[in-house]
Amino acid sequence: MDTFAFIIHPIDPKRDVSRKFPLLGRVLNERQIDFFSTFFPPVYISEIEGIRSEATGKEIKGWFIACPYTPRRMMELPARTVYKKIIQTGRLAEKLGANILGLGAFTSVVGDAGITIAKSLAVPVTTGDSFTVSVAVDAIREAAKVMEIPLETATAAVVGATGAIGQVCAELLADHVERLYLIGRREDALEELRDRLQVHARAELIMSTTMDVLADAQLILTVTSAIHDVIQPEHLQPGSVVCDVARPRDVSAMVAAARDDILVIDGGMVDVPGPVDFHFNFGFPPGKAYACMAETIALALEGRFEDYTLGKHLTRERVEEIDKISKKHGFRLSGFRSFEREVTLEQIETVRRNATRSRKVRVAQM
């Protein structure tokens, strides 16, 4: 039977460590977990079974294995030290007999995004970023539809536009919307991106290094590697949609608490084909996975055991190819979720009603 392994790591240290080690999660505080994570070895988490291709009936199995570092630790430590721990975790995948290895969340962000790691391992490696792009763009287009925001005349924004995932998301969105803000921290990188996309883009492209311009956008796709939130309630206009692909999240929990007139959706959740059991709760309902996990699984179903998405320069061709492969095997964009809860069509209707109310209040105050 063909197999895969996927590396996860704690994102919210206390909550995620408790999922595997309840006692440790209870007695250690966040800073202590951060600190001790440096000395933890890679951890075997679970076997994944029940995945079956809709197209071919092929069944595969896989494993979750964990790199113990938290996002803060991965950003603080020298890249070499982090690579070493990820490679050690990758060796565990090799021992288990995995045919392909996926790098989850920050293990795919650090340094050169998988290139050094892949060179040091015999097992083929993928970051899962190509399918993450495809699912994020699909999700924001779906959300625009249900919120009745016509794409062709919409103003959109990509936050973290200079990143590996952000760049291709911007490239794809620029085909559909009227105006697109490219938001990042480095002006030179933004300029380079704008000049490259401008050649084919349908949208007017505007660069920005501040979040203030978000007030102008109806559709926002955010995908930074910041270790804390970067989008606050006051940045957003009533009725806007924010698709948060980043882990840890970019959108402050305050947005959910203070703004009932905005639709925030988690980017990157898909339904997995077959009666899958992950034997581990990573915070999603049964049968659903992150898009980056799905890329790894889809490649195993397809028998494509090769380094697939690596490095910071993703290509549109790879995004389109993995989209086809995944859809063929039965991966589907899942319903909307927001801050780990399902979003119903009734809730979307309520958001739209509240947005109309907020707009009226704003006009009255002018």
Residues 155, 158, 161, 166, CA torsion sign? negative
The CB-of-121 to ligand NAP minimum distance in angstroms stands at 19
One-letter amino acid identity for 216? D
Count the site residues for ligand NAP by CB under 6 A: 32
108 binds ligand NAP (CB under 6 A): yes
- Rounded CA Rg of the chain: 20
- Which of 362, 139, 148 has the alpha carbon at shortest distance from 240? 148
Determine the interface stretch with ligand NAP among 137-145, 191-199, 221-229, 343-351 (rule: CB under 6 A). Answer: 221-229
196 binds ligand NAP (CB under 6 A): no
Q: Kindly compute the dihedral angle of the four CA atoms of residues 192, 135, 266, 352, in this order, to the nearest 10 degrees.
A: 90
Determine the interface stretch with ligand NAP among 26-34, 179-187, 198-206, 253-261 (rule: CB under 6 A). Answer: 179-187
245 binds ligand NAP (CB under 6 A): yes
10 binds ligand NAP (CB under 6 A): no
- Which residue, judged by CB position, is nearest to ligand NAP in the bound state? 163
Q: Can you say whether residue 67 is alpha, beta or left, with left for phi > 0 and alpha for psi between -120 and 50 degrees?
A: beta
Using CB under 6 A, pick the residue from 246, 251, 262, 348 that binds ligand NAP: 246
284 binds ligand NAP (CB under 6 A): no
Assess contact for 236 and 360: CB atoms under 8 A. no
Using CB under 6 A, pick the residue from 247, 259, 288, 318 that binds ligand NAP: 247
DSSP conformation class of 280: S
The CB-of-232 to ligand NAP minimum distance in angstroms stands at 12
Using CB under 6 A, pick the residue from 117, 164, 173, 255 that binds ligand NAP: 164
6 binds ligand NAP (CB under 6 A): no
Sheet holding 288-290, edge to edge: 288-290, 269-271, 332-333
- Tell me the CA distances in angstroms from 87 to 10, 99, 252, one per residue in order: 17, 15, 32
Phi/psi of residue 350, each to 5°? -65, -40
Closer to ligand NAP by Cβ: residue 48 or 164: 164
Residues 130, 132, 135, 137, CA torsion sign? negative
Residues 297-356 that bind ligand NAP (CB under 6 A): 312
DSSP conformation class of 200: T
Closer to ligand NAP by Cβ: residue 106 or 336: 106
Closer to ligand NAP by Cβ: residue 109 or 137: 109
> In terms of DSSP bridges, do strands 288-290 and 269-271 run parallel, antiparallel, or are they unpaired?
antiparallel
Using CB under 6 A, pick the residue from 166, 239, 274, 330 that binds ligand NAP: 166
106 binds ligand NAP (CB under 6 A): yes
Using CB under 6 A, pick the residue from 129, 138, 229, 261 that binds ligand NAP: 129
- Which of 315, 280, 270, 333 has the alpha carbon at shortest distance from 5? 280
The CB-of-21 to ligand NAP minimum distance in angstroms stands at 22
109 binds ligand NAP (CB under 6 A): yes
236 binds ligand NAP (CB under 6 A): no
Assess contact for 166 and 180: CB atoms under 8 A. no
Using CB under 6 A, pick the residue from 3, 89, 155, 162 that binds ligand NAP: 162
Closer to ligand NAP by Cβ: residue 129 or 302: 129
Query: b or e along 308-326 (b: 16 or more beta carbons within 10 Å of the residue's beta carbon)?
Result: bbbebebeeebbebbbebb
Binding site for ligand NAP (CB under 6 A): 105-106, 108-109, 113, 128-129, 132, 160, 162-166, 184-186, 189, 223-226, 230, 245-247, 267-268, 290-292, 312
